[in-house]
Amino acid sequence: MANEQVNVPSLLVILVLSGLIIRYLFFTSPAGAAASAAGRRGGGASQLAATLRAREAQVDRILQMFPQADRRTVLWDLQRNGGNVAATTERILAGRMETPPITFQPPPPGAANGASNAQSQSAAKEPDKPAQPDLIMRYNLQDKITPGSAESPASEATSSARTGTGSGSGKGKAWSSNREERQSLLQKRRDQMILEARRKMEAKIAAEKAAP
């Protein structure tokens, strides 16, 4: 009886082990062979680019969580643990990140992105840059800027008062239960705010120039 009791677990162990060995012998090696064959056929570069892209996405994910983390350190850590994002996250949280050796030179951030223009990260960042310079361009207010700053505030105030009474409230409280109307009212208010700020700033600059 004792003999049999020992046998069941050992049988299981043997089964699992043989399963692993069979899997190792028959399933991984063909895949590896196919991959290396693909590499020999000239697909090596694209494969490298794919891993780079994947790594890049992982780094981006981690940097989104920890903007203070160093890119190179994160890359180094990911490289060492084979791209395990969770492990790297744990290490950052525990403060156990190691500084990479000087010999570790990761590709610049743009390298993998350049290879894949479809990546959402780069696509999201690119329109940000040209839109940054100023609000007039961003919200297409060029034609609303009037040089005669003395007259325009008055006319705008009357027009907004008219729309304000139309929707049943004062100038400041632009709120409508209708969704589209509300959106256009709020957009109008935003534009007015920017233009007014610009006018005030213009006046301030003019005053500064006149004073000294």
Q: Which residues bind other proteins (CB under 8 A)?
A: 67-68, 93, 95, 128, 131-138, 145, 172-173, 175, 193-194, 197-198, 200-202, 204-205
Choose between 151 and 202: whose C-beta lies nearer to other proteins: 202
Cβ closest to other proteins, residue 50 vs residue 136: 136
Q: Is the CB of 15 or the CB of 93 nearer to other proteins? A: 93
Minimal distance in Å, beta carbon 173 to other proteins?
7
Q: How far is the CB of 79 from other proteins (least distance, A)?
A: 24
CB of 16 to other proteins, least distance (A): 41
Q: What's the min distance (Å) between Cβ of 136 and other proteins?
A: 4
Name which of 135 and 157 has its Cβ closer to other proteins: 135
CB of 69 to other proteins, least distance (A): 12
Is residue 52 a contact partner of residue 83, using CB atoms and an 8 Å limit? no
Query: What span, in angstroms and rounded, lies between the C-alpha atoms of 108 and 52?
Result: 11
**What does the H/E/C string look like for the chain?**
CHHHHHHHHHHHHHHHHHHHHHHHHHHHHHHHHHHHHHHHHHHHHHHHHHHHHHHHHHHHHHHHHCCCCCHHHHHHHHHHCCCCHHHHHHHHHHCCCCCCCCCCCCCCHHHHHHHCCCCHHHHHHCCHHHHCCCHHHHCCCHHHCCCCCCCHHHHHHHHHHHHHHHCCCCCCCCCCCCHHHHHHHHHHHHHHHHHHHHHHHHHHHHHHHHCC
Query: By C-beta, is 23 or 204 nearer to other proteins?
Result: 204
